[in-house]
Structure 1
Amino acid sequence: MSAYRALIMGLHDRPIRMIQMDCIDDESAISSAERLVDGHNVELWQMDRPVARFDSRSGKIYKK
């Protein structure tokens, strides 16, 4: 299992909350983080590596 963190982004793309997740791989982490999108953008990171960004308005996922 790898440690990931999902950042819930607020105004001006500043993080307002961080959620720690232990997931098997990137796809599992992306699936888990996607459920957190609720009116705010979400960024998914593994240590210092950006994994994905979820846009709340368009519903798109941008994989890094």
Structure 2
Amino acid sequence: MVTRIWIGSKMVPASERLFWSKIMGVYRAYIIGADGHIELRIDLDMRDEAAARERAKQLVDGHPVELWEGATKIETLEPEEGPPSGGLP
């Protein structure tokens, strides 16, 4: 499984995550494959849940995306009908 770390709308080195996690909420988006298993985890360090939801919506590209905050599942975002536009992020 690959991990990418986003701070707001930018990707940053993992070493900066501890600093930002004290300021912003830590959310995780899981890209779910056709077999129902996790294909990719993306850490989202966002200012609030609304920002995390918006970012997760951008990740839906032919695959469902589950948005979590810690051990709490916030929602599952389903792709619209039709083929993916470009693959996984």
Place the TM-score, normalised by the shorter chain, in its bin. Answer: 0.7 to 0.9
Matched, 1:29 2:52: yes
Runs of 4+ in structure 1 off by over 6 angstroms are: none
Matched, 1:46 2:69: yes
Unaligned runs of 5+ in 2: 1-23, 82-89
Work out which structure has the larger RCO, using CA pairs closer than 8 Å and 6 or more positions apart in sequence. 1
TM-score (ref. length: structure 1): 0.83
Unaligned runs of 5+ in 1: 59-64
Percentage identity across aligned positions? 34
CA distance in 2, matches of 1:5, 1:40: 15
What is the Cα deviation at residue 13 of structure 1?
1.9
Q: CA RMSD for the aligned pairs?
A: 1.1
Tell me the matched-pair count.
58
The C-alpha deviation readout for 1:32-64, integer Å capped at 9, x for no partner, is 010000000000000100111101136xxxxxx
